[in-house]
Each structure stands twice: as C-alpha cells, then as structure tokens.
Chains A and B, each alone.
Chain A
Amino acid sequence: MADKVISEMITAYALGCMDKENFDQFHRHLKKGGKIPLGELGELQNLSVLIPSLLELEAPNPMLKEKLTENLLALRDEIERKKQAAERKTKAEKPQPKLKLEEDKIQSPPEIAEETGKTIEKIPKGISFSSTDKYKETTKEKLTQQSSAEQVKTYIDQPDDKKVTDVPPTRETPKPQFINLQPGDKDWFNNFIKSKTTWILAGIPLFLFLLLLIIFGSQIGSLSDSIDKLNNNVSGLQSEVERNKEFVSRHLALVEFFNNTNIDVVELSGTDLYPGTNGQLLITFTEREGLLKLNNMPIPKGNEAYQLWMVSDGQSYSLGVFVPNLSEKYIRIDNVPFIPRENVEMFRITNEPRSGSEMPTGQTYLFGSLYQPQEESKRR
C-alpha cells in the first residue's frame, strides 16, 4: 500500500467524495504528472464502480430512447462541426514515412508501455488488481519471446536517446547493377539506332499506344466525373431520405396522439410578467400523454429550462422539463400522473434548473386550466 496520506487521497478521489478544493488540487497534481501510484488509483477506481453492480437492475421507460434521439438531433450542428474539425485535422497530418517497417514494429509497443505503463498485449478481459509493473514485466517477456529476441531486449534496456539510432537495419540496400555490353552487342546497338526503318517500326506501336492512352484517359475522366455526379446525387438523396424519415417520425407521433379520444385542450396564457407568451397543451388523461406547443417563449439561459406542472389539491406534479427547440413544433409529454381529470386545478410552466425541480421554484411564465363542462352548465 502507498503512503497512508496518499492512500487516503486516492481513496477519496476514486470514490468521488473529495470536496471541490481538494479535488481541484489533486486534479492539478495528477495532470502535472505528480507522484501518485496510478496503478493503485486505477484499482480503486475499478473497485468503486463494482459497488453498483450489486443493485437490483430495472429498466426505464422504453420511450426514453426517443428523448435521446431528440437530444442527438438537437446536437447535429455541434457534431457536424466536430466531424469537420476532425477531418481537417486528419488531412493536415502528414502521412508517416513507411521506411524501416520492421523497426517500427519493434519500437512502438515499448513506447506505449513506457508512456502508459500498460502492455501492448490485449489485457485479458476481467478485473485484475495486480500492479502495473507486473504487466510491464509481462510485456517485456512476451516481446522478448515473440520478436527477434536480441533487438527487442537491447531496445527495452537501452536509454531512450539510443533507441532510434541503435536499431540494426533489417533491409539491405540494393546494390546498383550494370550491364556490360560486349563489342558485338555494341555494333548491333549502333546499327539499330541508325536504322530509319527500325525507328518508324518502333514509332508506330508507340504512337498507337499513346493514342489509346489518350482515348482511355478521356473516357476514364468522363467516367470519374459521372461517378462524382452519381455520388453527389446519392448523398443528396440520402439526406432527403433522412429528412423525410425525421418528418414522418415526428408526424407519426402526432397522428398516433390524435387517434386518442378524449383529448383536452388547455389554452396557456402568459402571466403579467410575460404577457406576450402563450401556448396550448393537448392532453389525454386516458392514455396519460400530451403535446405542448409554445409561442414566443424566450430561450432559457445557460443551465435553465422550463418545467410543466399539473396542480391538484394544492400539490404540483411535474409533467417534464424541456428547452424549446426551433425544430420541434410540439413537445411530447409522457407519463402524465394518475390524477382524475376532475381533480386537476390548473397547469403552469415555470423556469427551473435543467435537472428539474421537485417543486416549482422559479417564476411562472404560462398558466391555464382545463375546460370543465360542469362550470359551463352552471353558468347556463
């Protein structure tokens, strides 16, 4: 075990129970490459995540995947930018010279092992609490057995600055070969150069060959143009299909929703603080789902979001937390609480943290109540 104080620190770090100040200090120390038993820290981190493996497993609502899809769609632009940046980076990187292939094969694994303390052999699946140094030894042994023993052993044991220069060459440089012409051959060669007929005879196939090359070249060029055009068409069609799929999936949800009978419409009006805003809540108490449409709602700041509440007997029940999205006209609401329609007093939308609140804490933006037929008949 490492020094007691260090062990206490890495325990708290692995369990995630350091206060922020200590965490920041430890994190900086770790980043700067300070002396921390990384093998032991890794063991404790692996150990702490085994604790939840004992929980009784349960699955969430299967519809939750749709919410994830919505989030992914909302992130499309960000991801696209990241993809483009990655592509630019890849293009900017020059290809590595492929010389000394054999040397590379031998050199790279110890480099990785030096840097990370891990083996290049795939670590056998399964938890192991053995120290990293042991893995290092294993690497060395395996490498020594597998590749040309002397080269690797010398490499691992040598100081870093000698590693590149001292690796023996594995390929012999080919020596230039000269053709020795005999006197008889020389005469034949001179005669050949001088002979016009031979020149013409040699020129015709050359000319034909060049002609064919030009014809094929132009055909290949036009073919590659056509392929490019087709590729563009295909990618255009693919993106159109994606757009259509998205459209269909969005509207299918609407169609499915409107198949329900007993849909209530709640007109939501802005409070005095936010008079220009309004919305509409379509809700079915039999299927416990709904659709929310918002108009002129400001985009919430940083970590804020809107939360929809259903108020019954003075208690507020959350119907979901959401951030208005320009691409989504309707916000889907699942899992409406089991509360009889007649007990619902009102609905309201408040400003809350993105993680959601258990009770309304922020300002109310919109409110509205259900149309109650009894009230109407009383008025009559």
Chain B
Amino acid sequence: MAQLKELSDIELMKRVAKYESDALYALYDRYTPLLFSLLKKILGDPAIAENALVEVFTIVWRKADRFDFRTENVYTWLVTLTRNRAVDTVRRERAEKGQTYYDDNYENKYVVPHLSPNLDALDLNTAMKIKPQVEKALAKLTDAQKYVLHLAYYEGYTLDQISRKLRIPLETVRNKTMKALYNLRDNLLSE
C-alpha cells in the first residue's frame, strides 16, 4: 500500500482498470477529501454525501474501462464523475415524481464523464498547487458571473432553469455563463 501511494494518478488508474482493489483504495485515500467536500457542498447532508462517495468509487471500479487513458487526466474524470453523480441526485429530487429511471445506459450517458480527447493532463497535486491562482482568478469575476457559475456547477441548475429562477432571458444566461468561464480562464492565464 505504501508503494501505491508513490504512484501517479494515471498509474493507479491503470491498475484499477485491471481490477486491483488496492489501487482503488489508494485512489480513494488520495481523492476522498476533495470528492467528499464536493459531494457535501452539492448534496448538503453529510450522510447522503458519504453514500454518494461510496457509489462514486463503485462506479470507478465498474467503469474504469470507460476512462480514456490517452488523456492521462484522472483528476478531471474523477471530479466530473463525482459532480455528475451529485447533480443527478439533486435534479431527481427537484424533478416531478416518476423520474426515477436509472440503469447502466443512463449511468454511462449522464454520469460517467465524456471528456474531450484533447484534454491536457492534470492531476490532484497540480490542481492543489495552483489553488491560489484559481482563487485570485475567480475573485476577479463580477458577482453576477460568480453567481451564475455557482448555480450551474454546485446547484445543478440547467441554463433553462437558471433563466426561470432569475427571470432573465435564456440568451442572457447563456452569454453570462460563457463569459464567466472564459473570463475565469483568461484571469487564470494572466496570474
């Protein structure tokens, strides 16, 4: 186990894809604080967040073969998977009764991430190292841009829902969301 701790994210993921459970536990130990905090932020209740965390790693175990190893980007895959899983729960709670359909195909389509094949490599260490820059870049956004990002990313609202919630035209929401993310990128590049 001690040796596994030394392995990179991608090396661990390769072992997970071969169903080496120790590698999954190593990945769990490494990523749990971040993923649990994200789940708690989205789902609110710590107990529900804990259940969701177990489900996320169960999905990783079952669906590791859907990870695109060419991207070498386990961080983005895991965080997106976790966020998708949490947002799916939140959207189900908000949806009208009867919308409880969930099977393997649904999971593959809406929960397992579909990342661009042209994704730059990123790992947990790097993400944590550039945290101050991300913080500064985010702080430079306007309040409206921050709010729209919050509603979309953490609250799980779709663009249509944000438009209805804030009572502003859908076009404006689309534009604001795009500007928020592109400004965040530009701010981060200038840091």
Binding site for B on A (CB under 8 A): 1, 4, 7-8, 11-12, 14-20, 23, 27, 30, 38-39, 41-61, 64-65, 67-68, 71-72, 75, 78-79, 82-83, 112, 116-118, 122-130, 132, 302-303, 318, 320-321, 335, 353-356, 358
In the complex, which residues of chain B have a beta carbon less than 8 angstroms from the beta carbon of A7? 178, 182
Shortest beta-carbon distance from A125 to chain B in Å: 6
Alpha-carbon separation in the docked complex, A320 to B45 (Å): 13
In this complex, the interface size class of chain B, counting residues with CB under 8 Å from chain A, is 35 or more
Q: Shortest CB–CB separation between residue A136 and chain B, in angstroms? A: 10
| B61 pairs with A72, CB closer than 8 A | yes
Given A16-B84, A355-B51, answer yes or no on A128-B120 (Cβ-Cβ < 8 Å): yes
How many inter-chain residue pairs (CB < 8 Å) link A and B?
Answer: 228
User: Would you give the shortest CB distance from B173 to chain A, in whole angstroms?
Assistant: 9
Q: Are A356 and B48 also in contact (CB < 8 A) when A50-B134, A127-B120 are?
A: yes
Q: A17-B162, A18-B158, A356-B48 are in contact. Are A48 and B54 (CB under 8 A)?
A: no
Partner of A45, one of B38, B52, B116, B188: B116
Which residues of chain B have C-beta atoms less than 8 A from A128's C-beta?
Answer: 120
List, sorted by A's number, 29 A–B pairs whose CB atoms are closer than 8 Å: A7-B182, A8-B175, A11-B174, A15-B153, A17-B152, A17-B153, A19-B158, A38-B118, A45-B119, A46-B76, A49-B75, A49-B76, A49-B80, A49-B127, A50-B188, A51-B149, A54-B134, A54-B138, A55-B38, A59-B36, A60-B53, A64-B53, A67-B54, A71-B58, A79-B19, A124-B121, A125-B125, A127-B130, A335-B47
A82 to B157, CA, bound (A): 36
Q: Which residue of A lies closest to B25 (CB)?
A: A65
B68 to chain A, nearest CB (A): 9
Instruction: Give chain B's interface residues, CB within 8 Å of chain A.
Output: 19, 21, 24-25, 28, 32-34, 36-38, 40-41, 45-55, 57-58, 61-62, 65, 70-73, 75-76, 79-80, 83-84, 87, 89, 92, 100-103, 109-110, 114-123, 125-131, 134-135, 138, 149, 152-153, 156-162, 174-175, 177-178, 181-182, 184-185, 188-189
Kindly identify which residue among A12, A47, A79, A358 contacts B45, using a CB–CB cutoff of 8 Å.
Answer: A358
Nearest chain B CB to A359 CB, angstrom units: 11
Give the residue of A83, A129, A355 whose beta carbon is less than 8 angstroms from that of B89: A355
Taken together as a complex, chains A and B put the C-alpha atoms of A129 and B158 apart, in Å, by 26
Across-interface contacts of A72 in B (CB, < 8 A): 21, 24, 58, 61
Of all chain A residues, which has the CB nearest B179? A11
A53 and B61 alpha carbons, distance in the complex (Å)? 23
Assuming the contacts A11-B178, A48-B153, A116-B117, asked whether A43 and B38 have C-beta atoms less than 8 A apart, the reply is no
Main secondary structure of the interface of B (DSSP, over half): helix
- CB-CB under 8 A from A71, the residues of chain B are 54-55, 57-58, 61
Distance (whole angstroms) from the CB of B76 to the closest CB of chain A: 5
Q: Which residues of B contact A57 (CB under 8 A)?
A: 33-34, 37
Chain A residues with CB below 8 A from B162, complex form: 17
With A12-B159, A71-B54, A303-B101 as given contacts, are A46 and B73 in contact (CB-CB < 8 Å)?
yes
The docked-state distance in angstroms from the alpha carbon of A82 to that of B18 is: 10
Q: A19 touching B159 by the CB < 8 A rule?
A: yes
On chain B, the residues within 8 Å of A58 by CB distance are: 33, 36-37, 40
Asked if residues A355 and B92 are in contact (CB atoms below 8 Å), the reply is: yes
| B-chain residues with CB within 8 Å of residue A75 when the two chains form the complex | 58, 61-62
Contact B41–A55 (Cβ < 8 Å): yes
Chain B nearest CB from A238 CB (Å) reads 14
Q: Which residues of A contact B152 (CB under 8 A)?
A: 12, 15-17
Known: A46-B73, A71-B58. A52 touches B37 (CB 8 A): yes
B106 to chain A, nearest CB (A): 9
Which residue in chain A gives the minimum CB-CB distance to B43?
Answer: A355
Q: Is there an interface contact between A60 and B46, defined as CB atoms closer than 8 Å?
A: yes
For B109, give its contact among A11, A27, A49 (CB under 8 Å): A27
**Nearest-CB residue, chain B, relative to A55:** B37
Most buried by B among A11, A45, A82, A356: A45
- A42 and B116: CB pair below 8 A? yes
Known: A43-B120, A68-B54. A52 touches B184 (CB 8 A): no
* Cβ–Cβ contact B41 & A123, under 8 A: no
Q: How far is the CB of A376 from chain B (nearest CB, A)?
A: 34
A354, B100: Cα distance in complex, Å:
10
Question: By the criterion CB–CB under 8 Å, are B114 and A27 in contact?
Answer: yes
- CA gap between A367 and B5 in the complex, in Å: 46
